[in-house]
Structure 1
Amino acid sequence: MALRILMFNWRDMHHPEAGGAEKYLVTVAEGLSARGHEVIFRTSAYPGGLPDEVVNGVRYVRKGGRFGIYPRALAANLTRRYKADVVVDVQNGVPYLSPLTRRRPVINLVHHVHKEQWPVFFGPRLAKAGWVLESRIAPRVYGGTSYVAVSDATRTELGGLGIDPDRVEVIHNGTDAIPLDGTPRSLNPSLIVLGRLVPQKRVEFALEAVARLIDEIPNLTLDVVGSGWWEPHLHAKVAELGIEKHVTFHGHVSEAEKHHLLAQAWVHAMPSLKEGWGLVVVEAGVHGTPTVAFTEAGGPTNSIVHDQTGLLVDHGSQEFTAAVRSLLLNDEQRARMSSEVATWVAQFHWDESVERWEQALLRAAGRVSPTEDPNS
């Protein structure tokens, strides 16, 4: 029953721009390896990354840069270099177009559709070309494949591109974090933003919220956790707003420090333009820290139960600020949500995610798993 699985993803967890999407796939890859499957993770090269190594049972092959990885991966697929039983093709805006090789079964993993993000990174022409690639060409190329989405919101978005929802299986993120019962909340009102520091995360909205609230909440603090090429712009924004004494940039931190900061915070702010699910929503929730996010981001509408485990706002920096203010100042509301979010996130487990991925891969490869075989 063991499979040889080839995964295409443009980053791995050691990449300096890695985020929740990489955490998802690497955790699934390591879980599948622990179950006896051979997993080859084809990804892009980066300074300091070994071109070929095995980590926790997963073989990483790092070749090609941010864009060069795509033709290299397609060429590797054409030559049958890895003799895989099934391919997991992660469509992070740009698809790998694995079905064109017609060599082996493919599952297309989509965290979210990138319609809103193309203009953030590219000029009008390139943004339009990227959206045509994602919304018109990719659905045709992957017309005969199965999909996995990380949320119902993403499945709905794929349906808007003409992909039959029956072909899309939703496999949520999980968590392996445990509550840090010995870590007290910060004595002063505190916010945390956690993730890659890139434009689409819109950390500016959290900075603006602090600037608007410090007259009313003078001891308010914001911890910005993560790194990325947009960080100098955020430092400049802090200076422009005059909130240097209220904001701490922690950079990239260890898992232990990340969870310590999440457990201390009163509120987790996630002003992202788009999220497939929002892994940090669950990670914060383990520690009873509720999240404020945007409805328009998509995935948070599934990872957050509005007014129970956090707050969802429709649009705009001022509305985001109002929601943050409500949670910081209303002790009763925050305590209720803290209890409810800790209960809510307890249902999400990586073991279940890996189990569902294993079944999906076995089906795609034409295998019958022992749990599904009535004669076993």
Structure 2
Amino acid sequence: MAAAESRHVLFLNWRDTRNPDGGGSEVFVERVAAELVTRGYRVTLFCAAYPGAPREQILTSGVRVLRRGGWRTVYLWALWAYLTGGLRPDLIVDVCNGVPFLSPLYASCPTVVVVHHVHREQWPVVLPGWRGRVGWWLESRVAPRVYRRCRYVTVSEATRSELVRLGVDPERITIVRNGVNPVHGEVVARTPYPSLVVLGRLVPHKRVEHALRALVALPDARLVVAGRGWWEPELRRLAAELGVADRTEFTGYVSEQCKHRLLAAAWVALVPSLKEGWGLTILEAGARGTPTIAFREAGGVRDAIVDGRTGLLADDPRDFVGLTRWLLTDDRTRRQLGAGARAYAQGFTWAESGRRFARVLDEVAARPRQRVP
């Protein structure tokens, strides 16, 4: 503990959880940062600003948040803050959400890189054309070279394998899985009708369209889409076009209490995303005894779901619809998977995530610093 108390850890992340576009990656960063504070570290999170947000804030966890620039310029602001003396940490945690901060190029302290997932499939969807190609070049060619002497942390075996394919030494990669909050609050009964829930940001690569199309084949079911994002008008348009608008509820942003009620009341949770580093909502649903269906090809969901025991993995859109119909009509299988999901989720805690992350930082801090030439 004494060594930790002397260390200032700086997290560089493009967003924080209060950002309207924040998601599971930001939850992981802030929960791990909070656990580090309990272990004696001094922690600062540097991230992008957004309308109405204070430039500086101390969270209840003790984490200090600095907000500068926007999602495009936060990387340059981090460089400026470091070079002008505003930030002088003992360790940097460089969170790479596709676009890297490249902190080893200018920082004199050690860097630990966090990669939730590799964005190869997402670049053409999020930034079509040349911009997506530049993004993939930065992530797949530039970042592995700049971080070649750094320790990596990721959240799943799937992402670890992808990083190895990009040339990262597997000996430098440590898996620190997500935790899940203990379930508190009222006991919530399942809905009396077949119900589905999708929880997450409403952006194209989350592919909520698959859930809407599944609803067409399930005339007795209803769907709740919980979350916010700039893609919501397109999803509402598609729901009307498919004739399922009257059975689809878009809730917008939901509080933790509302999220608890939605996940506990649903019969099945759907994660139709193109790619996930882990899929935190899968564990959150599992903690309420709600099984999840996701796509096998979506990376880290293969770690978050034990196929056939805690949920189901679909091979293609047709299979996704078929598995959803099966779980909504087979009460026995759905209850078995729900019980398995609850038991599985109980094995993941943020305290353990923080302990494993702190061990990586301690190992890195103990090593002599090697500059990137």
Q: Secondary structure at the match of 2:142?
A: helix
Counterpart AA for 2:365: A
Q: Is the 8 A contact 1:180 1:287 kept in 2?
A: no
| Equivalence map 1:157-196=2 (5 Å) | 157-178=162-183, 182-196=187-201
Once residues 351 and 121 of structure 1 are traced to their aligned partners in structure 2, the CA distance between those partners, rounded to angstroms, is 34
Q: Secondary structure at the match of 1:224?
A: strand
Counterpart AA for 1:197: L
Instruction: Tell me whether 74-83 or 202-211 shows the greater mean CA deviation.
Output: 74-83
Q: Secondary structure at the match of 1:297?
A: coil
| Equivalence map 1:197-212=2 (5 Å) | 197-212=202-217
Once residues 161 and 314 of structure 1 are traced to their aligned partners in structure 2, the CA distance between those partners, rounded to angstroms, is 25
Counterpart AA for 2:342: A
Number of paired residues?
362
2:339 pairs with 1:339: yes
Q: CA deviation at 1:319?
A: 1.6
Once residues 363 and 322 of structure 1 are traced to their aligned partners in structure 2, the CA distance between those partners, rounded to angstroms, is 47
What's 1:373 paired with? none
Counterpart AA for 1:229: W
Q: CA deviation at 1:33?
A: 1.5
Once residues 282 and 111 of structure 1 are traced to their aligned partners in structure 2, the CA distance between those partners, rounded to angstroms, is 16
Q: CA deviation at 1:122?
A: 1.6
In structure 1, the gaps of 5 or more residues are: 368-376
Q: CA deviation at 1:20?
A: 0.7
Query: Aligned in 2, Cα 1:106/1:206: closer, same or farther, shift over 3 Å?
Result: same
Q: Secondary structure at the match of 1:25?
A: helix
Q: CA deviation at 1:75?
A: 2.5
RMSD: 1.2
Once residues 53 and 246 of structure 1 are traced to their aligned partners in structure 2, the CA distance between those partners, rounded to angstroms, is 41
Counterpart AA for 2:366: G
Could you give the per-residue CA deviations for residues 260-280 of structure 1, whole angstroms, max 9, x where no partner exists? 110000000000000000000
2:226 pairs with 1:222: no
2:280 pairs with 1:279: yes
Once residues 13 and 244 of structure 1 are traced to their aligned partners in structure 2, the CA distance between those partners, rounded to angstroms, is 29
What's 1:366 paired with? 366
Q: CA deviation at 1:322?
A: 0.7
Q: Secondary structure at the match of 2:10?
A: strand
Once residues 147 and 30 of structure 2 are traced to their aligned partners in structure 1, the CA distance between those partners, rounded to angstroms, is 23
Instruction: Tell me whether 352-361 or 76-85 shows the greater mean CA deviation.
Output: 76-85
Q: Is the 8 A contact 1:151 1:302 kept in 2?
A: yes
1:132 maps to which of 128, 137, 142: 137
Q: CA deviation at 1:366?
A: 1.6
1:59 maps to which of 64, 68, 71: 64
2:115 pairs with 1:110: yes
Q: Is the 8 A contact 2:82 2:107 kept in 1?
A: no
Q: CA deviation at 1:362?
A: 1.5
Q: Secondary structure at the match of 1:114?
A: coil
Counterpart AA for 2:330: N
Return the TM-score normalized by structure 2.
0.95
Q: Secondary structure at the match of 2:366?
A: coil
Q: CA deviation at 1:102?
A: 4.3
Could you give the per-residue CA deviations for residues 123-150 of structure 1, whole angstroms, max 9, x where no partner exists? 3211111111110110000000000001
Query: Aligned in 2, Cα 1:80/1:366: closer, same or farther, shift over 3 Å?
Result: farther
What's 1:145 paired with? 150
Q: Is the 8 A contact 1:95 1:134 kept in 2?
A: yes
Could you give the per-residue CA deviations for residues 142-180 of structure 1, whole angstroms, max 9, x where no partner exists? 000000001111100100101011110000000113166
2:83 maps to which of 78, 95, 100: 78
Once residues 106 and 178 of structure 1 are traced to their aligned partners in structure 2, the CA distance between those partners, rounded to angstroms, is 34
| Equivalence map 1:299-310=2 (5 Å) | 299-310=300-311
2:285 pairs with 1:260: no
What's 1:12 paired with? 16
Q: Is the 8 A contact 2:226 2:250 kept in 1?
A: yes
Counterpart AA for 2:253: H
Q: Is the 8 A contact 1:107 1:147 kept in 2?
A: yes
Q: Is the 8 A contact 1:198 1:228 kept in 2?
A: yes
Counterpart AA for 1:285: G
What's 1:320 paired with? 320
2:44 maps to which of 40, 63, 82: 40
Instruction: Tell me whether 274-283 or 73-82 shows the greater mean CA deviation.
Output: 73-82
Counterpart AA for 1:6: L
In structure 2, the gaps of 5 or more residues are: 368-373
Q: Is the 8 A contact 2:11 2:45 kept in 1?
A: yes
Q: Is the 8 A contact 1:97 1:138 kept in 2?
A: yes
Could you give the per-residue CA deviations for residues 172-221 of structure 1, whole angstroms, max 9, x where no partner exists? 0001131667211111000000000000000000000001221xxx2x11
Once residues 360 and 30 of structure 1 are traced to their aligned partners in structure 2, the CA distance between those partners, rounded to angstroms, is 16
Q: Is the 8 A contact 1:87 1:105 kept in 2?
A: yes
Query: Aligned in 2, Cα 1:54/1:35: closer, same or farther, shift over 3 Å?
Result: same
What's 2:249 paired with? 248
Q: Is the 8 A contact 1:180 1:263 kept in 2?
A: no
Q: CA deviation at 1:361?
A: 1.1
Q: CA deviation at 1:80?
A: 4.4
Q: Secondary structure at the match of 1:311?
A: strand
